[in-house]
Structure formats: C-alpha cells, structure tokens
C-alpha cells in the first residue's frame, strides 16, 4: 500500500514538473483553495458540533431539572392529599366511639371510606388507587379499581414490617387492579389517633407509572428525538415511555454500570449501533436517575447543514479564485513567455539585441539579467577569441623556436662534419633523430600527443645534442608503459631539456646527467626533469619563470611553457622549479591524467 501511494506521489510530481508556469499557478491556487475549504469545513464541523453538543447538554440538563421539579410536585401533592385523607379518617374514627375498636368496624364504615377514596381519586386524578389497612390487619379497604390479595402482602412486606416509619415511598412495582396489573409507585402513611396517639391503621396511595412517563412526552427536548426514562440506584428502569423496558435492568451493560454511579454527568457512546449522547441527573428523594438519550445524528444535524453551506460557498469561491488566478497568472506569464521567445531565438547573430523591460519586479529583473547575460556572453566570446589568439601565438612562438634556422643549420653542419670524418653511423643516427624530431614537432598540426610520443621526440633531441656535445652528458627516460597513453601538449619537454643542456650543463666536459621521470599521483601526472648542472639562485628561477632571462641569455623562456599548460588545463597545473647552485636543477611539470583528448577541447 505504501509503495502504491509512493508511485502516485511520484507520478503527480513528474506531471506537475512538466506543467507550464501558468498551469502551475492555477493548479496551486485550486489546491490551496480546496485544502482551505476542506480544513475550514472540518474545523467548522468540529467546532459547531462541540458547541451543539454543549448546548444540547445544557438544554437537556435544564429540561431534566424541569422533569424532576414536575415529578417532585406530583409527589408533594400526593403527600398533601394523603395528609388530607389522614385527617378525614381520624374524624371518622373519633366521631364514632363505637369504632374505637376494630370489632365494631362495620360494612357501612367501609362504604364511607370507599366514598372518600372515590372523591379523592376524582379530585386528584394522578392517584391511581388507595388502600387502607387497620392496625391489626383485619380490615382492608381499597378504592373501587384496586384489588387486595397480593397487594396487601406487598404493602405489608415493604412498609408494615418497618413500623418505625410513619410514612415512606415504596419502590415502583406491579399491582393488581380490576383492569389488570398496573405499574404504580405506592406512598404509605401511618394513621394515628390525634387524641390518644394510638395507631388507627395504614394507608397506601398509588401513583400510576404513566403519570411519570407522561411528563417525558410533554417536554420539548430540543434535540428532536431525545428519550427519557427513570431508573433506580440498581439500574432497574422504573418509568419509561417504552413500557416493555419498565421494571427491567437497563439493556446496555456499559450504560447500566455508568447509571449506577451516583454522579451526574454525560457520556457519548453507542446505543443499538448509533452514537448517542446520554445525560444523567439524580432525583435525590427517591435515589432515582433521570436518563436522557439523544442520538448524535439529531444533535449535530445543524452542524451538517452548516458544513454543506461552507462547502457550497467554498466551491463558489473556488470558481471565482480560479478565474482570478488565471488573470494573475496570465499577467505574470505573458512577459515571461515573451522573454522565453527571446531566449529561444538567441544566437550569435543577435547577441546585441536588447530585450525590452516593460515592467518591474521579478520579471523585470529577469529581463535585465537576461540582457546582462547577453552582454557577458559577448564579453566572454571576445575574451575567448583573444585567449585563442594568445594560445595560438604561444604555439607559433614555440614552433618557431624549435624550427629556428640555426638549430637546423648546426645539426646539418654536425652531420656534414661526421661524414667528412668517416663517422657514417653517427651521421645516419643524427639524420634519423633529426627527421623523427621534426615529424613529431609538426605532427600534422595536432597540438596534443601521447606521453610516449613526447618522450620519443625528446629522446631524438637529446641524442642529437649528445652527439653535438661529444657525449659530455648521459640521459635517461623513466616511464611505466601504462603512463605512455596519457596526453600532453607536444614540445613541452624539449624546451626544458634544451635549457638543461645549454645552461645547466654548459661548461661541463663530462659526467653530465639528465633524468626524465614520469609519475602519476591520483588524477595528476608529474613529469620531472633533473640535471646535475650548475644550478641557479631563487632570483634566477624567478627571472626564468617570468620570461626575463630568455631575452638576455638566449635560453628558451620557460614562462611560455608554464602559461601554455595553464591555458590548456587551468591554474592548478604548470611548472614547479627547484634548484641549488652547484647541485643541479629539477623542473616538475604537472598536467591532468587524461587519456582521450580532441583538439576541440583546446
């Protein structure tokens, strides 16, 4: 997968590199605006979603407290009506002295109490049923719609067994009524004779669970589809619009565990595969938890609408920006294309033509730089022309110096003398060396030859000079076969050897030595020419390098050789002269190790 994305990135990079400037600018504008729109949409969606969630949480919290206040009022009113019933039952008992004992309780009294219950249920319709139990449990009086049976046992188990309580709310439970079983919340109260303090009995009033769940349906939740329900401290649902969930544990174990915690708060979790915002508010009087579930899809609906609006606006802005970008890019690229046309039409014939600078800024600077470049090219061409003329002059001077008449005359005179003296072998050798020397010196006009040819040419010259000076010196040439293939400007060694013979060994009748050693160091060739002649001072070396000595002494100017090498290869190459008076002179010639050379390189 990573390689796949790398290939895509590489392909896009190559494609982008091949675009012209105008399309690049437009592409960058489009990408930037698109990225900006995407980022703005993402951040706006995140910010707005968080705001909507916080607002929904606050609104649900307010509505939850409204529910709790409503439920609290219902329970308070129930307790008030229970107190009123207590007073009435006290009056019935006190006004009839025969009713001071349970044995005297008659069916007529039952009818009177039932009528009272009936009137109370009519006035306060939130009560669903009423039950009265005498203190000994012998008589049980209920409202018309309530059955006794197991209802009595539930009341007895939950309340009568705890006689220390004068009144209390029992747990939500299922009780028998004439219409069937109903889920109700009983409120039990002990009835005491206000004159004697003796217990008259116990009364239980019941509120239908629908009374509580009916409050939920009347709440405008603001989230559109929020669902409320009550559960107790054990996670058992005690009231809900979904009747199938009542008196059962909360279905989701994670939510049930969170519900049991007594702290108020909220969480966002998955309910039936949908992300849901859940809030919890504790109803302290009963220890219940009011739970509200609001689907996140409904909570963040406004965020999606705003995101869609941002995307549409971003798309419109993208179109406007693309048009604006095209205008801007055209204003930039038009003078550039004009400049490119001038560059493409540039040749030696129109170097003097000046490109018009119609505007400032970078494009104007580029046009000025192009004009400056053309003037520099003209200047460089002139310098190169002068350089070539100077180099050819050095070559001509060198060639003239080697082919000067007196050298030829002296050599021919030497050959004639040897013939007269009967030294035909030496004469033949001298003629052969002279012919080979001039063949290499001329070399069909080629300026660069191999090291092997240059050494052979130098040896021809030395053999002639050795005959001329009656074998007053010996010479040796040391060069590995692998170094003979490297190139060197022709007639580089001969002038140096001539200086060694004519000046270094001048005056010696014997034991003169000239050694030529070729070595390679890295990418450099070092040709070392040593003699054991008279040597020279540092001042004399400076004069030779500067060319001042040649005009006075007749020796060949080594300055020409040094400058010739620098013209070919650069200033890091050339001659290095070291000498000690009375000890001899060493000249090192440094050139690059080059095997292939065309005369075009020169």
- pLDDT digits over 457-504, tens only? 889 888 888 888 877 889 999 999 999 999 998 888 988 888 888 877
Residue 59: name the closest of 303, 297, 284, 279 by CA: 279
Q: Which residue has the tokens 């520099």?
A: 376
**pLDDT single digits (tens) 372-394:** 777 787 788 788 878 776 776 66
- Residue 567 and residue 421 share a domain: yes
User: What pLDDT sits at residue 553?
Assistant: 44
Query: How far does Cα 35 stand from its chain's mean position?
Result: 14
Q: Are residues 307 and 415 in the same domain?
A: no
pLDDT digit string, tens, across residues 244-303 = 999 999 988 888 888 887 688 888 888 888 888 889 999 988 989 999 988 888 777 777
What is the reported pLDDT for 526?
96
Look at residues 243, 573, 567 and name the one whose alpha carbon lies nearest to residue 391: 567
Among residues 268, 298, 316, the one where a domain terminates is: 316
Which residue range(s) make up the domain with 549?
403-601
Q: Look at residues 289, 316, 343 and tell me which one is the last residue of a structural domain.
A: 316
538 CA to centre of own chain: 65
Do the Cβ atoms of 553 and 542 come closer than 8 Å?
no
| pTM for the model | 0.50
Report the CATH number at residue 146: 3.30.450.20
Q: Encode burial over 542-551: b for 16+ CB neighbours within 10 A, e otherwise.
A: ebbbeeebbe
Number of domains composing the chain: 2
The confidence score (pLDDT) of residue 560 equals 80
Q: Token digits for 245?
A: 């969930």
Question: Does a structural domain hold residue 360?
Answer: no
| 576 neighbors 590 (Cβ within 8 angstroms) | yes
Residue 537 lies in a domain: yes
> What are the φ and ψ backbone dihedral angles of 329, each rounded to 5 degrees?
-65, -35
Of 268, 288, 316, which closes a domain?
A: 316
Q: What CATH number did the domain enclosing 470 receive?
A: 3.30.565.10
Judge whether residue 521 has pLDDT over 80: yes
**Cα 242 from Cα 226, distance rounded (Å):** 13
Residues 6 or more apart in contact with residue 241 via CB below 8 angstroms: 213, 216, 217, 227, 228, 229
Q: Is residue 369 part of a domain?
A: no
């Amino acid at each position: 997968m990573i390689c796949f994305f790398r290939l895509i990135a590489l392909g896009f990079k190559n494609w982008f590199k091949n675009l012209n400037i105008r399309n690049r600018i437009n592409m960058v504008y489009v990408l930037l605006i698109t990225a900006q729109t995407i980022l703005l949409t993402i951040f706006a969606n995140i910010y707005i979603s968080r705001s909507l969630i916080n607002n929904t949480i606050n609104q649900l919290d307010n509505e939850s407290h409204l529910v709790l206040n409503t439920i609290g009022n219902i329970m308070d009113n129930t307790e008030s009506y229970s107190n009123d019933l207590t007073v009435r039952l006290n009056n019935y008992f006190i006004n009839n002295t025969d009713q001071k004992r349970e044995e005297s309780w008659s069916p007529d009294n039952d009818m009177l109490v039932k009528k009272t219950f009936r009137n109370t249920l009519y006035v306060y319709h939130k009560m669903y049923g009423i039950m009265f139990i005498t203190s000994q449990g012998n008589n049980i009086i209920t409202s018309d719609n309530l059955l006794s049976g197991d209802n009595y046992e539930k009341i007895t188990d939950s309340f009568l067994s705890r006689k220390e309580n004068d009144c209390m709310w029992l747990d939500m439970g299922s009780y028998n009524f004439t219409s069937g079983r109903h889920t109700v919340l009983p409120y039990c109260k002990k009835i005491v004779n206000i004159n004697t303090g003796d217990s008259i009995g116990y009364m239980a009033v019941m509120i239908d669970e629908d009374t509580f769940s009916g409050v939920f349906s009347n709440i405008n939740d603001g989230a559109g589809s929020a669902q409320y329900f009550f559960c107790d401290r054990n996670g058992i649902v005690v009231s809900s619009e979904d009747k199938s969930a009542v008196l059962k544990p909360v279905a989701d174990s994670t939510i049930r565990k969170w519900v049991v915690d007594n702290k108020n708060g909220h969480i966002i979790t998955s309910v039936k595969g949908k992300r849901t915002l859940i809030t919890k508010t504790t109803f302290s009087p009963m220890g219940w938890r009011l739970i509200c579930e609001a689907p996140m899809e409904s909570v963040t609906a406004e965020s999606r609408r705003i995101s869609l609006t941002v995307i549409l606006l971003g798309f419109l802005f993208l179109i406007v920006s693309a048009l604006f970008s095209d205008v801007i890019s055209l204003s930039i690229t038009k003078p550039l294309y004009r400049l490119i046309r001038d560059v493409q039409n540039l040749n030696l014939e129109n170097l003097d033509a000046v490109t018009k600078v119609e505007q400032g800024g970078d494009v104007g600077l580029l046009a000025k730089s192009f004009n400056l470049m053309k003037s520099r090219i003209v200047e460089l061409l002139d310098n190169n022309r002068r350089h070539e003329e100077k180099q050819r002059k050095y070559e001509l001077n060198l060639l003239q110096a080697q082919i000067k008449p007196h050298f030829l005359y002296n050599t021919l005179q030497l050959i004639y003398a040897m013939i007269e003296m009967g030294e035909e072998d030496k004469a033949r050798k001298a003629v052969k060396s002279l012919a080979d020397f001039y063949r290499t010196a001329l070399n069909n006009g080629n300026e660069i030859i191999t090291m092997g040819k240059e050494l052979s040419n130098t040896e021809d010259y030395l053999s002639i000079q050795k005959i001329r000076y009656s074998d007053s010196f010996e010479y040796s040439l040391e060069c590995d076969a692998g170094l003979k293939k490297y190139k060197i400007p022709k007639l580089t060694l001969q002038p140096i050897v001539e200086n060694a013979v004519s000046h270094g060994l001048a005056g010696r009748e014997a034991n003169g030595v000239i050694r030529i050693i070729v070595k390679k160091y890295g990418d450099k060739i070092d040709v070392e020419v040593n003699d054991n002649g008279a040597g020279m001072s540092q001042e004399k070396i400076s004069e030779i390098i500067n060319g001042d000595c040649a005009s006075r002494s007749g020796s060949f100017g080594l300055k020409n050789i040094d400058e010739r090498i620098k013209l070919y290869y650069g200033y890091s190459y050339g001659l290095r002269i070291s000498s000690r008076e009375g000890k001899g002179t060493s000249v090192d010639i440094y050139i690059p190790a080059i095997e292939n050379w065309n005369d075009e390189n020169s």
